[in-house]
Structure 1
Amino acid sequence: MKNFLRIARLILPYWPFALLNVFFNILSSVFSLFSFMMVIPFLRILFNQQYMVSEPMPFAFSSESIQHNLNYILGKIISQFGPSGALIGVCVFTVIVTLLKNVMLFMANYYMTSVRANVVRDIRNKLYKKILDLPLSFFSETRKGDIISKMTQDVQEIEISIMSSLEMVFRDPITIVLYLITLFVMNYKLTLFVIVLLPLSGLLIGRIGKNLRSSSRKGQRRMGLMLSAIEETLGGLRIIKGFNAEEMMLKKFHFINHLYNKLQKHLMRRRYLASPLSEVLGAIVLVTVMGFGGSLVLKGNAGFSSEMFIAYLVIFSQIINPAKSFSQAYFNIEKGIASAERIDSILDAEVTIKDPEKPVPEPGTLRSAIEFRNVSFRYDKEFVLKDISLKIEKGKTIAIVGRSGSGKSTLVDLLPRFIDPTSGEVLIDGIPVQQYRLKDLRNLMGIVSQEAILFNDTFFNNIAFGMPEATLDDVIAAAKVANAHDFIMDSPQGYFTSLGDRGGKLSGGERQRISIARAVLKNPPILILDEATSSLDTESERLVQDAIENLMQNRTSIVIAHRLSTIKHADEIIVMDEGRIVERGRHEELLKIKNGLYRNLHQLQML
């Protein structure tokens, strides 16, 4: 119920459309009632039992007043046009009322369409914004395929299950209540008997719906596993083929798909059970009312005539369809709520990296120094960084080296606040980074990582990423600094050539130079290079290294390096091991330390 109310609250911005929907649904139900009530005069005229009334009575919302005035009108028509003319009049009036009913129904659905489409759009927007706001640590603990499943399959399930059912939720209760009020007016004793029967069928439908929600939740989880398998396969096709692992991966996918297929069949069968079950229960209730009410009419204890009883049955039979639709909507909503619960696991996830309530003014540039003061960080229980203290003066180049898993990238991730330290402080110009707005803080930095992150867009848009005001001249100038201009111009459409998915049309060195051009264009005072040349061949490394040296001029640079030959000229080299700084100094100084870690790493690379 909590999740349904949460989705229902998304309707509030569109309440005028929802109100118009309710208004037109009420009119549709009223016109529908009028069309069914025409059964009474039709039968009376047909069997020559119409009461002739000479004077009308004051209108009141009662069975007696409505019948008296209807008899008065029909009496005048019969006396003027005869029974055949009155019969034709009743038929024409029924057609007109039915037409008005359907016009009102169309108008109700017309306004509900805006509510449905806009609410689903808002859910997607909220999800995407939350994904952008969540810290990187959230994604290291969650499968990408599961996140994609929640943003696509689960949102689609909400659209199909809950939003499509909103029409029934808004329309059918109005119809049922209005018809029940009419039945009460016609005969309250028989209607009380009906109301006792209806909840019994509702209880049975509710038990099946509860099981449906649980099964649906499992189904969406298994869809997440399947999307994860597809995502991993697409990303690792080269390795799968290289290790002849196609058969193994196919068996794994078949197993996941079989589990999903099995659960989907169970779900569909449960879902298909809703309509026939509600129809059978409705028929049982209708036959019970026919038997009970018919016996009262035959005994003369019903309190109304036989034609009134037939009209009563016609109106009551029309409750069955909206009740059936309402039960179907209940089943759909139960299934959709399972998807809503999965989406909430993202929407309710805690955003641990936030802007401060009272941020310091935008710094614009680095004025004095960056400082890591007694910084420690841990994932779960294991510390990755242990009591790190480091000061980087403005304009200096600091290199960080060490074995894999020594904490190099984790240390650098603290600076743009991709993560926050467990203890200690990271300061820029003596101010803790938590006191800056995230946007202001990250504007100070340009990041070039080991894996060049490119988008399926043009060279121009990839280089100008995050800088909408950049001109073509600015982009060309940045590309020239990054040694990328020549190969860009050799492409079919120059700067407006598409790079393909993740830059798949380019070599590793070309992708890295586009990434460097992006950092050049941003012109940040602080530069972070995270093993930017480690995965390149010798020729590509030389071109990229030249581009990096151009980029590093007049900036404060932090370089994480795997190849020690690229950091010989750093102002200071920080050597890390198991989350601690174990050595520091210039290249020549560190080589003089006997049995030093840096010296050992250097010797291994010289072999």
Structure 2
Amino acid sequence: MIFSQEKLVLSKPEGIHGSRDLIAYINYQISHLIVTNGVNGPVLALALICITVIVSVLLKNLFLYLSFYVLAPIKNSVMTRLRAELYDKLLQLPIGYFTEQRKGDVMSRMTNDIGELEGSVVGTLEGFIKDPLNIIIILATLIYISPTLSLFLLIFLPLTGIIIGRVSRSLKKQSNSAAIMLGEALSVLDETLGGLRVIKAFNAERILQGKFNNTNNRLFHLRNKMQYRRDLASPLSELLGVMVLCGILWFGGKLVLAGTAGLEAEGFIMYVGIFTQIINPAKALSSSFYNMQKGTAAITRIEEILNAPVKVDENISGLQLTTFANSIEFKNVSFSYDDKVILKNINLKVEKGKTLALVGSSGAGKSTLADLIPRFHDVTEGELLIDGVNIKDYSLFSVRKQMGIVTQEPILFNDTIANNIALGVESAPANEVETAAKIANAHNYISQKEAGYETNIGDRGGKLSGGERQRLTIARAILKNPPILILDEATSALDTESERLVQDAINNMMQNRTSIVIAHRLSTIRHADEIAVMQKGEIAERGTHDELLLKGGIYKRLVDMQEVK
């Protein structure tokens, strides 16, 4: 009607009872506008149509954005739960699992692979059906109308692309806060992987879970906000694109009305309308194949962790080891890992209140033997008994509650001194924390710090010296007040002065406790009730310090070597 190709509708329909009446009513309104405005009537009618198109696309993209708004929390909730499940599984897996895995690879699965999965889960399968059909139909229609019109539109479309690209980039700028918060979550994860032995020994899984889940949930809400902003870019870009194309339509339409365009009106309008519909499905389809491949690989890597067997189970229904009364006994114990025999036929008994020292060269199996007591590993053959009961029959939580561990490398967390000492002890009173620090010879240097016990010690305790870090781990074990102590070469990496302070703290801690000591410097275990000399996973010699010297065997040779040094 605007271009005089259709008769004007001058009679108003009596009512609107369907799509035919609706179209007739719209035609009547356009005709009325053309007739009542004289020469400018067709131009005003064309403007009305352009406005109608813009409003309709605005409504379309408004509801599209609302669909994204609903979808974003669902999508992010799935990712949040997946991260939480992966983290919980990492806490459940035995120590041995991580000796075979690179920490960086585990971190990559927790971060990059989940990110790849997040980018490919929503919309990929939908795109494989919807986008190819759209492209085929649109291409066929364009070829049928007139391929020569492409040249005309391609002069203007790059300009619209530049405008849309600038607006999209401004909407997609990422905030630094999300990266910082993700870094906090990764920091907790890194500390968990590095300190898993201490976390398990002090039953601190819940504390770390709470710390991680707090950061994870804050990241969840922040990513929702970022998703809302990012999803706004696509519909807004399309709306701006349609507005620019309607400007082209307005300009071209005026030329057609003036008879100077050299184009038929129907072909021009149809081609512009159809051509705008091919851009988005073409872009979406090209990325769908890539996302699908990346997503499939990410799922496989994530499932390898989720499906990894937990060889040391909690045994929730097991007996509760409330007190340690008699002894720890190894009966014909052997341990193998991946068909490699680490320990063979170990028979030892440690009475309550006694000290057992394990000595031997590196790789002899000392640390592995000690790791069996808190069930970091389970024995392959034989039995490990506590108070005459197989350790597997006890609840894992209750077994570790009776034990304190001080490792060769101090394992601390990026937190305050007080919280590091109170790890695994809920609501520890400040006076008890201070008492434990005094026994561990740590109170003096702590009190000299500006913030005292509230001083943050940095990543892995990097703000403290080696001796200070080690005395802090001893204070942690003292506060827990366990009847069983496991000391894994706690002074071997220290200088002479620090070693003396730490050794004094250890001696204070060992009073009236059952202790298993892995010794590197033999001078520190002269007064042990029994010394077991290990060689190639077996006990080669056993006895007191004086008895082993009289035998003149492996132990005497080790003592002589250290005295020469």
Structure 1 residues 133, 82: CA separation in 2 closer, same or farther (over 3 Å shift)? same
Match of 2:175 in 1: none
In the alignment, structure 1 residue 425 sits paired with structure 2 residue 383: yes
Q: How far off its partner does 1:97 sit? A: 1.6
Decide whether aligned partners of structure 1 residues 523 and 92 sit closer, same or farther in structure 2, where only a CA change above 3 A counts: same
Q: Does residue 1:530 correspond to 2:482, yes or no?
A: no
Specify the alignment match of 1:47 in structure 2.
4
Shift of 1:564: 2.1
Cα–Cα, structure 1 residues 367 and 167, in superposed 2: closer, same or farther, change >3 Å? same
- Spell out, residue by residue over 1:252-307, the C-alpha distance to the aligned partner (whole angstroms, 9 max, x if none): xxxxxxxxxxxxxxxxxxxxxxxxxxxxxxxxxxxxxxxxxxxxxxxxxxxxxx95
Alignment of 1:400-411 (within 5 A): 400-411=358-369
Q: Secondary structure at the match of 1:46?
A: coil
Structure 1 residues 115 and 171: alpha-carbon distance in aligned structure 2, compared to 1, 3 A threshold: farther
Letter in 2 for 1:74: I
Q: Is the 8 A contact 2:436 2:476 kept in 1?
A: yes
Matches within 5 A, 1:321-360: 321-356=280-315, 359-360=317-318
Letter in 2 for 1:558: I
- Are the equivalent residues in 1 in contact too, given 2:8–2:31 (CA < 8 A)? no
Deviation string, structure 1 residues 308-362 (Cα, Å, up to 9, x no partner): 9975994586255224313323322323333333333323322222222x63232
The reply on whether 1:139 has 2:91 as its aligned counterpart is no
Could you list the runs of 5+ residues in structure 1 that have no partner in the other structure? Answer: 1-43, 61-65, 191-230, 236-305
Q: 1:77 aligns with which of 29, 44, 49?
A: 29
Query: Partner amino acid for 2:24?
Result: Y
**Superposition deviation, residue 94 in structure 1:** 2.5
Distance in 2 between residues matched to 1:544 and 1:91, nearest whole Å? 82
Contact between 1:50 and 1:71, CA under 8 Å: does it hold in 2?
Answer: no
Match of 1:115 in 2: 74
Measure, in 2, the Cα distance between the counterparts of 1:538 and 1:76. 101
Which SS does the other structure have where 2:516 is aligned? Answer: strand
**Distance 1:104-1:528 versus aligned 2 partners, 3 A rule:** same
2:321–2:395 contact (8 Å) kept in structure 1: no
> Could you tell me how far apart the structure 1 residues matched to 2:330 and 2:363 are?
19
1:17-63 Cα deviation digits (max 9, x unpaired): xxxxxxxxxxxxxxxxxxxxxxxxxxx44333158598799978xxx
Query: What's the offset of the Cα at 1:469?
Result: 1.2
Q: Distance in 2 between matches of 1:383 and 1:368?
A: 30
Letter in 1 for 2:333: V
Q: Residue in 2 aligned with 1:465? A: 423
Aligned AA for 1:346? I
Distance 1:546 1:314, change over 3 A: same
1:168 and 1:99 map into 2 onto residues whose CA distance is 25
Aligned residues with identical type, % of pairs: 50
| 1:478–1:518 Cα contact (<8 Å) kept | yes
Structure-2 separation of matches of 1:507 and 1:555: 28
Displacement of 1:572 in angstroms is 1.8
Distance 1:338 1:175 in 2: 23
Q: Root-mean-square deviation (CA), in Å?
A: 3.5
Q: In structure 1, how many angstroms separate the alpha carbons of the residues matched to 2:326 and 2:268?
A: 92
> Is 1:157 aligned to 2:116, yes or no?
yes
AA in 1 matched with 2:102:
R
Q: TM-score if structure 1 supplies the norm length?
A: 0.65
- Matched-pair contact (CA < 8 Å) for 2:8–2:28: no
Counterpart Cα distance in 1 of 2:7 and 2:463: 85
Shift of 1:413: 0.6
Q: Give the match for residue 254 of structure 2.
A: none
Question: Is 1:601 the equivalent of 2:553?
Answer: no
Q: What is the rounded CA distance, in whole Å, between the counterparts of 2:365 and 2:125 in structure 1? A: 55
Matched residue type, 1:364: T
Once structures 1 and 2 are overlaid, which stretch shifts more, 337-346 or 392-401? 337-346
Q: Does 1:98 align with 2:57?
A: yes
Per the TM alignment, residue 142 of structure 1 is displaced from its structure 2 partner at its CA by: 1.8
Which letter does structure 2 place at the counterpart of 1:551?
Answer: M
Change in Cα spacing, 1:86 to 1:175, as seen in structure 2 (3 Å) is farther
Indicate whether 1:373 and 2:331 are aligned.
Answer: yes
Give the total of aligned pairs.
437
Find the aligned partners of 2:94 and 2:531 in 1 and give their Cα distance: 29
CA distance in 2, matches of 1:56, 1:311: 31
Letter in 1 for 2:358: I
Would you say the 8 A contact 1:50–1:75 is kept in 2?
no
CA–CA separation in structure 1 for the residues paired with 2:414 and 2:62: 47
Q: CA 1:552–1:318 in 2, change beyond 3 Å: closer, same or farther?
A: same
- Checking the alignment, whether the CA contact within 8 Å between 2:131 and 2:284 is kept in structure 1 is no
Paired residue secondary structure (1:558): strand
Q: Deviations over 1:374-430 (max 9, x none)?
A: 111123333111011112222222112222221111111111111111211212122
Q: Distance in 1 between matches of 2:495 and 2:451?
A: 27
CA contact (8 A) 2:127 2:284 kept: no
Between the aligned partners of 2:273 and 2:47, the Cα distance in structure 1 is 21
Conserved in 1, the CA contact under 8 Å of 2:127 and 2:288?
Answer: no
Which residue number corresponds to residue 264 of structure 1?
none
Report 1:358-397 matches (<5 A). Answer: 359-397=317-355
Q: Does 1:398 align with 2:356?
A: yes
What letter matches 1:375 in structure 2?
V
Structure 1 CA distance for aligned equivalents of residues 429 and 130 of structure 2: 59
3-state secondary structure, aligned to 1:498:
coil
Query: Which residue is equivalent to 2:200?
Result: none
Say which SS state the counterpart of residue 123 (structure 1) adopts. Answer: helix
Q: Give 3-state SS (helix, strand or coil) of 2:277's partner.
A: helix
- Tell me which residue corresponds to 2:404: 446
Q: Out of 127-136 and 328-337, give the one that drifted further.
A: 328-337
Contact 1:385 1:407 in 2 (8 A): yes
SS of aligned partner of 1:363 = coil
Deviation at 1:145, TM superposition (A): 2.2
The 3-state SS of whatever aligns with 2:335 is: strand
Aligned counterparts of 2:351 and 2:436: Cα–Cα separation in 1: 26
Quick one: which amino acid aligns to residue 73 of structure 1?
Answer: Y
State the 1:123 CA deviation.
3.0
How many angstroms does 1:471 deviate by? 2.4
Aligned twin of 1:209: none
* Alignment check: 8 A CA contact 1:56 1:72 kept: no
Q: Using the alignment, how far apart are the partners of 1:145 and 1:557 within structure 2?
A: 35
Pairwise mapping of residues 244-323 of structure 1 onto structure 2 (< 5 A)?
Answer: 311=270, 314-315=273-274, 318-319=277-278, 321-323=280-282
Letter in 1 for 2:294: K
In the alignment, is the contact (CA less than 8 A) between 1:169 and 1:326 conserved in 2?
no
